[in-house]
Amino acid sequence: MNERRGLAGSASYGDDLLDLDGDRLREECGVFGIFGHPDAAAITALGLHALQHRGQEAAGIVSFDGARFHTERALGLVGDTFSDADTVARLQGNRAIGHVRYSTTGETILRNVQPLFAELDGGGFAVAHNGNLTNGLTLRRQLVRDGAICQSTSDTEVILHLVARSRRPRFMDRFIDALHALEGAYSFVGLTNKKLIGARDPLGIRPLVLGDLDGCPILASETCALDIIGARFVRDVENGEIIVASEDGIESIKPFGVQPARPCIFEYIYFSRPDSIVHGRHVYDVRKRMGAELAMESPVDADVVVPVPDSGVPAALGFAQQIGIPYELGIIRNHYVGRTFIQPTQSVRALGVRLKHSANRSVVAGKRIVLIDDSIVRGTTSVKIVQMMREAGAKEVHFRISSPPITHPDYYGIDTPEREKLLAATHNLDQMRDYIGCDSLAFLSVDGIYRAMGEGARDPARPQFTDHCFTGDYPTPLADLDLQGPKQLSLLAEVG
Amino acid sequence: MNERRGLAGSASYGDDLLDLDGDRLREECGVFGIFGHPDAAAITALGLHALQHRGQEAAGIVSFDGARFHTERALGLVGDTFSDADTVARLQGNRAIGHVRYSTTGETILRNVQPLFAELDGGGFAVAHNGNLTNGLTLRRQLVRDGAICQSTSDTEVILHLVARSRRPRFMDRFIDALHALEGAYSFVGLTNKKLIGARDPLGIRPLVLGDLDGCPILASETCALDIIGARFVRDVENGEIIVASEDGIESIKPFGVQPARPCIFEYIYFSRPDSIVHGRHVYDVRKRMGAELAMESPVDADVVVPVPDSGVPAALGFAQQIGIPYELGIIRNHYVGRTFIQPTQSVRALGVRLKHSANRSVVAGKRIVLIDDSIVRGTTSVKIVQMMREAGAKEVHFRISSPPITHPDYYGIDTPEREKLLAATHNLDQMRDYIGCDSLAFLSVDGIYRAMGEGARDPARPQFTDHCFTGDYPTPLADLDLQGPKQLSLLAEVG
Amino acid sequence: MNERRGLAGSASYGDDLLDLDGDRLREECGVFGIFGHPDAAAITALGLHALQHRGQEAAGIVSFDGARFHTERALGLVGDTFSDADTVARLQGNRAIGHVRYSTTGETILRNVQPLFAELDGGGFAVAHNGNLTNGLTLRRQLVRDGAICQSTSDTEVILHLVARSRRPRFMDRFIDALHALEGAYSFVGLTNKKLIGARDPLGIRPLVLGDLDGCPILASETCALDIIGARFVRDVENGEIIVASEDGIESIKPFGVQPARPCIFEYIYFSRPDSIVHGRHVYDVRKRMGAELAMESPVDADVVVPVPDSGVPAALGFAQQIGIPYELGIIRNHYVGRTFIQPTQSVRALGVRLKHSANRSVVAGKRIVLIDDSIVRGTTSVKIVQMMREAGAKEVHFRISSPPITHPDYYGIDTPEREKLLAATHNLDQMRDYIGCDSLAFLSVDGIYRAMGEGARDPARPQFTDHCFTGDYPTPLADLDLQGPKQLSLLAEVG
Amino acid sequence: MNERRGLAGSASYGDDLLDLDGDRLREECGVFGIFGHPDAAAITALGLHALQHRGQEAAGIVSFDGARFHTERALGLVGDTFSDADTVARLQGNRAIGHVRYSTTGETILRNVQPLFAELDGGGFAVAHNGNLTNGLTLRRQLVRDGAICQSTSDTEVILHLVARSRRPRFMDRFIDALHALEGAYSFVGLTNKKLIGARDPLGIRPLVLGDLDGCPILASETCALDIIGARFVRDVENGEIIVASEDGIESIKPFGVQPARPCIFEYIYFSRPDSIVHGRHVYDVRKRMGAELAMESPVDADVVVPVPDSGVPAALGFAQQIGIPYELGIIRNHYVGRTFIQPTQSVRALGVRLKHSANRSVVAGKRIVLIDDSIVRGTTSVKIVQMMREAGAKEVHFRISSPPITHPDYYGIDTPEREKLLAATHNLDQMRDYIGCDSLAFLSVDGIYRAMGEGARDPARPQFTDHCFTGDYPTPLADLDLQGPKQLSLLAEVG
């Protein structure tokens, strides 16, 4: 056992001992905007609440009342801040945009919380961003060299500066000027004193949908944010499209011409909520089909199918239905785990405490189980979950993953560890199986996941999805990767 | 539609609009104690965390270090208070007891948070209580008449006063004296400067188990509190039994003689965690069998089986497996709902916002669904969930409840509304179906639930379980029900 | 220098380096009550604010609205809690009592914060207390032996238990029963569902005055609490007198017969506010006369008279006017010192930082100064203040104290250190002068202070004041001093 | 009475009823910096604490550790934030600057709290500012027009942008470039990765001194910030001088040539601490001389001299000593008034409650009193204080003000009301006397105040001090006064 663990070093201890969710990928953001509704801020708060799974570290809303912009931003969940009626009431006006944020540790400071706002020459401009620029730091350095003062470490501030410095007279031209300088993934919502603006990058990597509530246009990262308020889904914003909502109606601008979209496949695998519809596909259905494809590709003779809660549930249902083995809750989740928890003493830690999940012995004991999860990142929690199953008496543990091995990091808004920390980047399948300690291990193939998406297979010439985490095929240049020199900009993070 | 709602009055509005959990029964407490372990307080905190589902409003621990008692108590979750290493470190000593509490609104004040402590003539005594005395108020009035000063509105304080006032010289005799005065349901853990004590009422209405961690005795409400720390399950504490753990070992006292137990059936239906084993039965298995019995009693021709999350999940699995219809997640739960949330304006409220749950349209639309829940109390949320299914396009909604109709309130530690608020107390089955708005409605029968428990049928002469909520057959006298006069004692609640 | 300091050990370092107020005596409490005013709670909050100098660690108010008692209590200043309009609004009713509290470290926990309340057989009773019982612990042990459960470590709870256990039928008789058991100093205000009650101990050690606002009776520790609300001063409550205000008017009861009063002389020296009138004497005038008597007894040839702010100010004015030397502010107080402050690193500490006071060099440099303070307790801060004067360039520093040497601890509600920590208990005048490091040192004589009070001299047979701190002549028995055995009751302090 | 009040309208009600300090002038800031000390941040915290009287609404410190800048900023007092050892420990490095801030209501938001920081092309730059630019808004508009994004509403940010945009290669040249664009009053402290910088405007309106602690240079607004840490006063920074401290020692730069200084006279009247030395004058002595000059100019036959605490105290001592009437504390200050306080109900408000001050009846009753204050702004509190003296029984109230009438607002960092709210701008002396309700009223003359400063008289051609509040003679142009158009920049204030 120790030997197997030895492959990856410190897998057998550490804080993640306590948390099966500690080895998940994290999305950086969700955005929402509405134009023309008397309860704009309250509706935005509800929309952000529906998008909470996209970012739990901070939330913010900017509204405009025809004369002034108003902002409320805070660390914490949407409900922590916007359950206060006074807070919502201060956000006057019939148009608003909002943002929920996930961020890597240490950078979550209030001045990075979005939407960001700047008073430009022609009036105020607020913007919120889901995604990540692959040339954000490069642009920032040029701006600072030209005398710009950056007050956040957020990519989003770059677009503010680019707009502020454009010499074009009309706002939308300045905004388009700015977009042309950007590389990477972005879904923006913006608010000026006249317009609500949405924009997706040329490949449409991150999602953005257009909705309608009683004639008021809505922009949101996912359809579940429309459902919570009973709004109508109109259509996806297209890749490379700018949507401008104003009192004159809705305008569509395509400054990049027309090209095929290449949305991020992880929205289907993990990020989007199961009840959302992304580019015409029900996420829940796609996940079940991933499980079914997995069952066809890598069947196993077993007694029960057990999902790793909660992300493995739909794939486990699809697997179980396809293969005809009963689906059972072999792992119970404790819903009362907050953002901090008991730091047990070293001797207590040695007990192997599991605060967040426990084995359901009546399902597991004496059984051959198929454990279904959606992905493996570092693999550290997979080790623990298999161990937990064995301690509960499982006779065999077959591990099935409803997506391909993650071999490459992301630079488009998903928080992935460095390449050398990705289990599949440094281990082959047998090594992974040994490291995790399961009896068998299989991943869904790349073509299998394309089939689950309803595509025949991956088109290597023009891949239908952004899938570099599995393939290494990055869809845009990665300018910032080559930057050298002191990363002084990160000092900003400490300027409270 | 309005007409149907008219039957029960205010069902169509109110704060519970927002929360499908607003119509659940609530358990009042969970208890834990350990004797002789160097990390007694940390282990107690972990045990309470595993029991968090039994009470989320407050938590407390008392430890004893051989010379002094130490206490930490606070409103909120276990992790809110006991994630702080300093707090745990202050709880010195190798023995500790702890408590998690649910309480009706307005009464959750710090001085009611358990364990309660009193300095008696022979030394300190701390006690924590799960259950409810049916003569608690009666006893309290006698005590006040005799010059006692009560500082809480908690039943638990009554036992402290009874012990303090007993004239017997030995502590255990005084404790037994006190127990003889009590009527109702209780599972106590207590701590003196010598002993860890556990006690169950003569019928064993509320649960209590005995465990062992490296030779240290543990008392806990459920086995899941043993599992989290890797402790061994020894046996259930028996009805009417007192367990005394001291440096001399473990002693069992049975002051009430031997009589058949009559544990509360709701521990199986709703309260206990699915991975707990209660009186030898796996809770998860029992709940699945309730679903299976229900499928046999009240089958239905449908396309999908949909659980009301999370409490309806095991019964829905059992129902689906029994009847052979696919189990699907037709309702998605938002895990980020905190203890407060957005108070939408009236106009937003009219949108029918659902903060905590949403329909999964891809499962529901165009389908005939069987909705499985574990119980109906007032019925208000059942109305909303059926409505949500219909709005998501369900063709038919068949509602199946995996326990019998609740017609009588509880007085033994479960927070039930007054009788006239219980839907099944005032409506027959057809009326309930019409009120809820489903296409068909069925409850599991009383005998069905006994079968799911592994009993042939209910023995009316000597019922095997406390089941008055379904039958009106209360297992003890209800002295407090007849009390008249000013309820001055509740004023204490305001003495913060 | 080291040698001198050596006498008292650690005088030269420690936290008190930072705070000239660290060596003051502390009063334990102030009380207030009003009957019949529609704004009873708001007026009580204002009265307590005026009494804030008597206790800054906690504040509480109990009101009665004809049916229910309401309580708000919290650690901190009156304004911290009662600046909140909602808090005051919850204290419904036209009668209220309140309390401000000082307490020794570690015992200030919420359950000790007064007023305390108990639901007695005949109805609720709230009580707040200024003073200290010299047999409080003795009584408490008897009560516990008789089965009472104490929930605080406060003396005040003893009276609640005594009243609760009295077998007399009428409330006032039970209250008088209880008073007869008490020894020591007490000024109580109490509230029942019929009456506002005030009571002073037989010697009238702690103050209590009767006032009137628009026909509503008021009880307060000092007249400044009447002035803040524009209430009329009626008279002092007499020693051994009970005042009962009800809808039938005001009644005076003297259960102890008539005997000479013996009020605490420290109310004049230090505790009462300078604008209060205590037993017919203006406190400011008395303090100035103490300074003038001191000038006559111990004159000195100097350039300026400098008060130790703020307590030495009136005596310094009296001294300066009497002796004809200019009064100057040689020490400046920083008013922005909060309840916590910078913990400088050890190296910064070595700088001799003075956060709360600084020398006013323009007054001190090159001058012979007379420094006036009201008392010396441990002497630790006197050392520092003299040192500060010398560092600012004082040519000579003559220290004059406007009260006699403190040689005995108090047990009547003043927080004094143990006898061996009192500088004057272990040092003669020359030793004290050497320890403090001043050029000359003098205290006001005992007869001098009696003259300042307007008495010819102290009557040793029947001293006009409680003055044991100077004389060792304690006015009551000190039962608790002889108590032995484990002080288990202090464990209660930890039961948060 | 009503008639007199009628002259100024709303004098008789409002929140200022409760606070004699409500009618004070407010200074905007204090600054501190140190170079080369291992405890730089702790020392800066102490220095800021000594400067707390210059600003109580926020405090901040930036340190530099040779590689990274660190910042801690917060609303509240210095001690609220920097009493936490962890906070100070995070401010690593041997150089630091700090700031305390006062600000008009509504603008005190965290992003305005200084020091401000920017990452410029050549490295980080932090700056803190005492004073006010009279062309700050004009500059800001130009900057925004040129594409700058301002993230605060603070003047201080303007200097950051000017430095960032200067095209000069060396930092100091860019800084001097920026200074040349500024008009108004400023005393800056700045920190780069090489240097600690101090700068005063060409007239030296706001103060700044140079000190030395064990060879480490210090910059501070006042000498009292040197005294608290035992640092040596070196000299005042001169008007128009830049001080640069680096590892190469201290350099003085005078980019504006040499011209006569014209420091603000209000530093002597009100702002500086009495123990500070400003431009070679002891503030306490100057204030006493103002009182003495006032006594000579406007003597009065009276029984006692009473200061309005605390600002009138030194002038009252000077007045009393000069005229030979006893100085007495006729007004007592309650030191426990926090930042919020009881909002009494309307009926309680009618009682004329005085939370912060009370009359000392024993001094006032039956006496002819001379009341001494340092200035009159709106006059609203003067009305109340005279009324309070009369209600306490004063026979006559003669009001003497130790500075001339304030007839013009300030634009250099002192918060004054608009001109029409200044009592002396709209009333002649008789009208002021009638409005205030005193028996006589006199102000110190302009020449009298120059005499108190040790100048023969004011030189109208080249006034020795900035004294426009009394004379209307503003020392610099007031560009921003003429700005028109939407003040959009203030919207920023809401972007929390």
Q: Could you report the per-residue pLDDT of D304-362, keeping only the tens digit for each?
A: 999 998 889 999 999 999 999 999 999 998 877 755 555 556 666 666 667 788 999 99
The CATH number of the domain covering residues in C285-465: 3.40.50.2020
C123 and B CB contact within 8 Å: yes
- Tell me what pLDDT residue C102 has: 78
Task: Report the gap between the CA of A37 and the closest CA in chain B (Å).
Answer: 10
Neighbour-count burial of C121, counting CB atoms closer than 10 A to its CB (0-12 exposed, 13-18 middle, 19+ buried): middle
pLDDT, averaged across chain B: 88
Chain A hits for B329, Cβ within 8 Å: 274, 284, 313-314, 317
Interface B:C, ≥3 CB–CB pairs < 8 Å:
yes
d(CA D198, CA D175): 11
The residues, any chain, with a CB within 8 Å of residue D325's CB and separated by 6 or more, are: D302, D303, D304, D305, D370
Q: Which residue of chain D comes nearest to A117, CA vs CA?
A: D495
pLDDT at D19 over 80: no
D275 is in an annotated binding site: no
pLDDT at A358 over 50: yes
Over residues A115-136, mean pLDDT? 92
B436 and A CB contact within 8 Å: no
Annotated binding site of C for Mg(2+): 311, 373-374
C43 and D CB contact within 8 Å: yes
Task: Report the gap between the CA of C133 and the closest CA in chain D (Å).
Answer: 28
Q: What are phi and psi of A322, to 5 degrees?
A: -65, -40
Contact B39 A332 (CB under 8 A): no
CB C106 within 8 A of CB C35: no
Residues B390-442: tens digit of each pLDDT: 999 999 999 999 999 999 999 998 888 889 999 999 999 999 999 999 999 99
pLDDT at B20 over 90: no
Chain C hits for D46, Cβ within 8 Å: 342, 344, 348, 353, 355
d(CA A319, CA A324): 8
Contact C355 D328 (CB under 8 A): no
Interface D:A, ≥3 CB–CB pairs < 8 Å:
yes
Q: Which chains touch A (3 or more CB pairs under 8 A)?
A: B, D
Q: Which of D342, D345, D356, D388 to mutate to test the interface with C (most CBs of C within 10 A)?
A: D342
Give catalytic residue positions of D: 29
- CATH 3.40.50.2020 residue ranges in chain A? 283-332+342-471
With residue A35 as reference, give the H or E element that holds it.
Answer: strand A29-35
CATH class of B283-471: alpha beta
The CATH number of the domain covering residues in B26-262: 3.60.20.10
Contact A495 D148 (CB under 8 A): no
pLDDT at D299 over 70: yes
Nearest to A119 among D110, D111, D488 (CB): D488
Residues D57-86: tens digit of each pLDDT: 899 999 999 999 999 998 888 988 898 888
Task: Report the gap between the CA of A270 and the closest CA in chain B (Å).
Answer: 15
A363 and B CB contact within 8 Å: yes
CB B250 within 8 A of CB B33: no
Over residues D377-395, mean pLDDT? 94
Task: Report the gap between the CA of C230 and the closest CA in chain D (Å).
Answer: 6
Task: Report the gap between the CA of C285 and the closest CA in chain D (Å).
Answer: 7
d(CA C464, CA C263): 8
Lowest mean pLDDT across A344-353, B266-275, C292-301, C421-430: A344-353
pLDDT band at A354; cut points 50, 70, 90? confident
Contact C119 B71 (CB under 8 A): no
Q: What are phi and psi of C380, to 5 degrees?
A: -65, -40
pLDDT band at B357; cut points 50, 70, 90? confident
Q: Which of A73, A119, A146, A158 to mutate to test the interface with D (most CBs of D within 10 A)?
A: A119
Structure tokens at C448: 């001098």
Contact B275 A360 (CB under 8 A): yes
d(CA A152, CA A164): 16
Chain B hits for C124, Cβ within 8 Å: 488, 491
Over residues D403-421, mean pLDDT? 92
Chain D hits for C354, Cβ within 8 Å: 228
d(CA A208, CA A99): 13
Residues with pLDDT less than 70, chain C: 1-27, 103-111, 338-353, 484-496
For residue A126, give the amino acid letter: A
What's the gap between Cα A77 and its chain centre?
16
Q: Which residues pair with C73 in a beta bridge?
A: C60
Select D284-334+356-468's CATH number: 1.10.150.20, 3.30.70.100, 2.30.30.90, 3.40.50.2020: 3.40.50.2020
What share of chain B in percent tops pLDDT 70? 86
pLDDT band at B102; cut points 50, 70, 90? confident
Structure tokens at A483: 């930057």
Full strand arrangement of the beta sheet holding B368-373 = B304-307, B368-373, B396-401, B440-443
- Tell me what pLDDT residue A494 has: 34
What share of chain A in percent tops pLDDT 70? 86
Chain B hits for C151, Cβ within 8 Å: 111, 118, 149, 151
The residues, any chain, with a CB within 8 Å of residue D167's CB and separated by 6 or more, are: none
pLDDT, averaged across chain D: 88
Q: Which residues pair with A101 in a beta bridge?
A: A29, A58
Chain B hits for A454, Cβ within 8 Å: none
The residues, any chain, with a CB within 8 Å of residue A350's CB and separated by 6 or more, are: none
D454 and C CB contact within 8 Å: no
Q: Which residues pair with D101 in a beta bridge?
A: D29, D58
pLDDT, averaged across chain A: 88
Q: Cα-atom radius of gyration of chain B, to the nearest Å?
A: 23
Contact B358 A313 (CB under 8 A): no
Nearest to B182 by CA among B138, B219, B120: B138
Of the two residues C193 and B105, the one the predictor is more confident about is C193
Annotated binding site of A: 311, 373-374
- Tell me what pLDDT residue A148 has: 94
The beta strand positions in D287-364, using DSSP E, are: 304-307, 331-333, 357-359
Over residues D427-432, mean pLDDT? 98
Chain D hits for A492, Cβ within 8 Å: 117, 119
D311 is in an annotated binding site: yes
Q: Please, what's the b/e burial string for C54-87 (b: 16 or more CB within 10 A of its CB; e: otherwise)?
A: bbbbbbbbbbbbeebbbbbbbbebbbbbbbeeeb
Nearest to D494 among A71, A161, A166 (CB): A71
d(CA A366, CA A393): 6
- Tell me what pLDDT residue D109 has: 64
- Compute how many other C-beta atoms are within 10 angstroms of the C-beta atom of residue A298: 20
Contact D42 C285 (CB under 8 A): no
Chain A hits for D60, Cβ within 8 Å: 496
pLDDT band at A334; cut points 50, 70, 90? confident
Q: Could you say which residues from 80 to 119 on chain B have a Cβ atom under 8 Å away from some Cβ of chain A? A: 80, 82-83, 85, 88
Over residues B309-335, mean pLDDT? 94
Over residues B168-191, mean pLDDT? 96
Determine the 3-state secondary structure of C320 from DSSP: helix
pLDDT at D32 over 60: yes
- CATH 3.40.50.2020 residue ranges in chain B? 283-471
Neighbour-count burial of D66, counting CB atoms closer than 10 A to its CB (0-12 exposed, 13-18 middle, 19+ buried): exposed
Contact B362 A284 (CB under 8 A): yes
- Tell me what pLDDT residue C112 has: 73
pLDDT at B215 over 70: yes
Task: Report the gap between the CA of D148 and the closest CA in chain A (Å).
Answer: 6
Neighbour-count burial of A249, counting CB atoms closer than 10 A to its CB (0-12 exposed, 13-18 middle, 19+ buried): exposed
Chain A hits for B310, Cβ within 8 Å: 335
Q: Could you say which residues from 214 to 233 on chain C have a Cβ atom under 8 Å away from some Cβ of chain D? A: 224, 227-230
Q: Which of C81, C119, C487 to mutate to test the interface with B (most CBs of B within 10 A)?
A: C119
Chain B hits for A363, Cβ within 8 Å: 284
CATH class of A283-332+342-471: alpha beta
Structure tokens at B465: 């379980």
pLDDT at A49 over 60: yes
Over residues B132-148, mean pLDDT? 92
- CATH 3.60.20.10 residue ranges in chain A? 26-262
Greatest mean pLDDT among A149-153, A308-312, A382-386, B289-293 lies in: B289-293
D124 and A CB contact within 8 Å: yes
- Tell me what pLDDT residue C11 has: 27
Q: Could you say which residues from 282 to 341 on chain C have a Cβ atom under 8 Å away from some Cβ of chain D? A: 282, 284-285, 310, 313-314, 317, 321, 326-329, 332, 334-338, 340-341
- CATH 3.40.50.2020 residue ranges in chain C? 285-465
Greatest mean pLDDT among A75-89, A391-405, A482-496 lies in: A391-405
For residue D124, give the amino acid letter: G
Nearest to D211 by CA among D195, D230, D194, D239: D230
Annotated active-site residue C469? The verdict is no
Q: Which residues pair with D63 in a beta bridge?
A: D70, D96
pLDDT at D490 over 50: no
Nearest to C338 among D38, D79, D344 (CB): D79
d(CA D471, CA D473): 5
